Structure 1
Amino acid sequence: MNDRQNDLRVQGLAKSYGREAPVLRGLDLTVPGGALAAVLGPSGCGKTTLLRVVAGFLRADAGTVALGGRTLVGPGVQLPPERRRVGIVPQEGALFPHLSVARNVAFGLAGTDRGERRRRTEEMLDLVGLAGYGDRMPHELSGGQQQRVALARALAPRPGLVLLDEPFNALDSALRAGIRADVRAALRATGATALLVTHDQQEALSTADLVAVVRQGRIAQCATPQELYRRPADPWVAGFVGDAVLLPGTVGDGGATATTPLGTVALAAPADGGRTGTLVLRPEQLRLTDADAGEAVRATVTDVCFYGHDAKVTVTVEGLDAPVDVRVAGPLPVGPGEQTGIRVTGEATLHP
């Protein structure tokens, strides 16, 4: 996958708007060539500002942006957007309503031979599953089809980097998964590096090769989706990316386990004995058992939310101030008000 000609490197990026507090505070991010990285974070954290600085629509106060070793932003350097080899897929497609699908896709190919322009347009429409749609107008397309055209338009000039600004927001939830898979496949087919800005955790985890979580203008953690979910950098990241169970714990002798209100829990990394901190687990690591089972901790069911493919069972446990959520697959063994046992499986991360 890695094409070093398209590596994206952002270092020390800072940006403020007037006298307001800085939006970007020395942000660092590296995306290997050919990878799709999702930039995930709460509203106001700096995701869109990062995208606009990389695109060239905003001027950074400090820091550098380089694509394939070529500086786009830096001291004395501010390449205009049209010279950056960066394609953009905005929210809701933003197609030119007065141009046909083919002319929308060919918009960025000005200056190329007419025959080559036609061939490249057809190639891109075929890549996004819209072969034969060139003569249609944007208003004749569904929302998902418009997003595919926007992607084809962004890819047509062979950019080194594609920026996707929450491109699936306007789509029905039933369409999103299919469109996301198609977009991912098209990006991989062209080898372009991509940056997807989103606030949707599931979208980031299921679509991207890397997920960068932004908190207050900096990257809190950047890792593969599996690493981010299993070993979050801190409890905030854990709670933002998926559901988290936070437990107080004390590390036992040897540092391999910790004692918690849910019993003894194995640690993902060894720690100093006697150390206290917060343990992070995921709801699917908890199992409901018989209330009188030997190794189980007794709990009381307070709520059950049934989702079809699974259910969330909320319980209270002596020694814990907050209730605990347990994700259960299959038939529900308990209901509100009943007693149950809880057993922990797998490893937890410890955060002092």
Structure 2
Amino acid sequence: MNELHIEGLTKSYGAGEPVLRGLALTVRAGALAAVLGPSGCGKTTLLRIVAGFLHADAGTVRLGDRTLVGPGVHLPPERRRIGIVPQEGALFPHLNVARNVAFGLTGTDRAERRRRTEEMLDLVGLAGHGDRMPHELSGGQQQRVALARALAPRPQLVLLDEPFNALDSALRTGVRSDVRAALRATGATAVLVTHDQQEALSTADLVAVVRDGRVAQCDTPQNLYRRPADPWIADFVGDAVLLRGTVDDDGTAVTALGAVPLADPPAGLRAGTVLLRPEQLHLTDVDSVGTVRGTVTDVSYYGHDAMVTVTVEGHDTPVGIRVAGPLTVRPGEKTGIRVVGEGGLHGDDGSPRG
């Protein structure tokens, strides 16, 4: 099995503050996990320790039934059976595509290397490109070659270090989809390190949010977005509407946007921060029954949807409302707002309460 287990991982550089502070993470065999977090949270340090390029101060890393890192154990990188896809591909410029892919295929005869190389190029959609040089490929094609090179030796684990950063936004989506399909076709366990929330949510089976050297929350993309562990995570993984609220006896929160039903009403908590997402707020006519009035202050149009910013009396921070379809409001106009669906409630200490 290729399950990855990381427990109690700690790492400091010199006499400075620890970068990793007892980080723990489990990735089931065959899954693609995204490690997401702000700059300086420890994502790259984690990847380099798992790859074998850095020594951990403490903790263990196990891949299947093998210990890679542990007390008195530091398996060399070349013995870990880990493939790496770095930023911008990092192909060998003096080798053609086929030789780049075959680079790690040691201990096999020429016919097997050629067969495996052709198989990997076909898997990433580059069949027939083996004779080309790296400089003759687009950025997206180079990343596919880098993935083929990482997969060719049949690794137990593939590490992807922000591999789509250099691609333009239109190309990035297609390459991400191709990479995910190729990983699933081989059954390899994979870890994607990224600071891009959309990339993590749309690509991975599991997302681990790292904060201050620890995993703050690890869950499926949908659960992470819908049920974040605290307001900071809610705001980090997507646009969030955070409101002060008091809780009625029926488990409904009273907020500046009106009454909000709570998912899993809390026990004993009478006030806290209510979390909603912008798509849960709908614009309505100002005179509609059961709506709250506000003033439009800004409209950002994205084509597929728009973000309308509205100020609401009794709430200090303007709220964002995601609107699909034609826009019917402009800055300066009054509008009604209606909440759809349930909110989550967090205590003042950030703890989830529903």
**Does the CA-based 8 Å contact 1:11-1:64 persist in structure 2?**
yes
Q: CA RMSD in A?
A: 0.9
Structure 2 residue aligned with 1:287: 282
Which of 53, 57, 81 in structure 2 is aligned with 1:57?
A: 53
Q: Write out per-residue CA displacement over residues 195-216 of structure 1, whole angstroms, 9 at most, x where no aligned residue.
A: 0001111111111001111101
Structure 2 residue aligned with 1:90: 86
Structure 2 residue aligned with 1:129: 125
Which of 297, 301, 308 in structure 2 is aligned with 1:306?
A: 301
Report the Cα offset of residue 274 of structure 1. 5.5
Structure 2 residue aligned with 1:233: 229
**Does the CA-based 8 Å contact 1:254-1:272 persist in structure 2?**
no
Structure 1 residue aligned with 2:165: 169
**Does the CA-based 8 Å contact 1:304-1:336 persist in structure 2?**
yes
Which of 331, 335, 344 in structure 2 is aligned with 1:340?
A: 335
Report the Cα offset of residue 254 of structure 1. 3.4
Which of 134, 145, 159 in structure 2 is aligned with 1:138?
A: 134
CA separation in 2, counterparts of 1:249 and 1:275? Answer: 8
Structure 1's consecutive aligned runs of 4 or more residues displaced over 6 angstroms after TM superposition are: none
Percent identity over the alignment is 80
Structure 2 residue aligned with 1:9: 5
Structure 1 residue aligned with 2:352: none
CA separation in 1, counterparts of 2:341 and 2:136? Answer: 51
Which of 210, 214, 217 in structure 2 is aligned with 1:218?
A: 214
CA separation in 2, counterparts of 1:307 and 1:140? Answer: 34
Q: Secondary structure at the match of 1:58?
A: coil
Structure 1 residue aligned with 2:253: 258
CA separation in 2, counterparts of 1:27 and 1:121? Answer: 37
CA separation in 2, counterparts of 1:308 and 1:139? Answer: 34
CA separation in 2, counterparts of 1:309 and 1:109? Answer: 45
Q: Secondary structure at the match of 2:90?
A: coil
Structure 1 residue identity aligned to 2:144:
R
Q: Write out per-residue CA displacement over residues 323-345 of structure 1, whole angstroms, 9 at most, x where no aligned residue.
A: 11111111222211111111101
**Residue range with higher mean Cα deviation, 304-313 or 229-238:** 304-313
Q: Write out per-residue CA displacement over residues 84-126 of structure 1, whole angstroms, 9 at most, x where no aligned residue.
A: 0100000000011111111111111111121111111110011
Given the alignment of the two structures, is residue 77 of structure 1 paired with residue 79 of structure 2, yes or no? no
Residue 86 to residue 274, structure 1, CA distance change in 2 (3 Å): closer
CA separation in 1, counterparts of 2:276 and 2:59? Answer: 36
Question: Mind listing any 5+ residue stretches in structure 1 that lack a counterpart?
Answer: none
CA separation in 2, counterparts of 1:104 and 1:115? Answer: 16
CA separation in 1, counterparts of 2:163 and 2:288? Answer: 49
Structure 2 residue aligned with 1:182: 178
Structure 2 residue identity aligned to 1:79:
L
CA separation in 1, counterparts of 2:117 and 2:327? Answer: 53
Which of 146, 149, 157 in structure 2 is aligned with 1:150?
A: 146
Given the alignment of the two structures, is residue 242 of structure 1 paired with residue 238 of structure 2, yes or no? yes
Structure 2 residue identity aligned to 1:326:
I
Q: Secondary structure at the match of 1:38?
A: strand
CA separation in 1, counterparts of 2:272 and 2:34? Answer: 30
CA separation in 2, counterparts of 1:275 and 1:69? Answer: 48
Structure 1 residue aligned with 2:111: 115
Structure 2 residue identity aligned to 1:63:
G
Q: Secondary structure at the match of 2:337?
A: strand
Question: Mind listing any 5+ residue stretches in structure 2 that lack a counterpart?
Answer: 348-354
**Residue range with higher mean Cα deviation, 335-344 or 52-61:** 335-344
CA separation in 2, counterparts of 1:139 and 1:310? Answer: 38
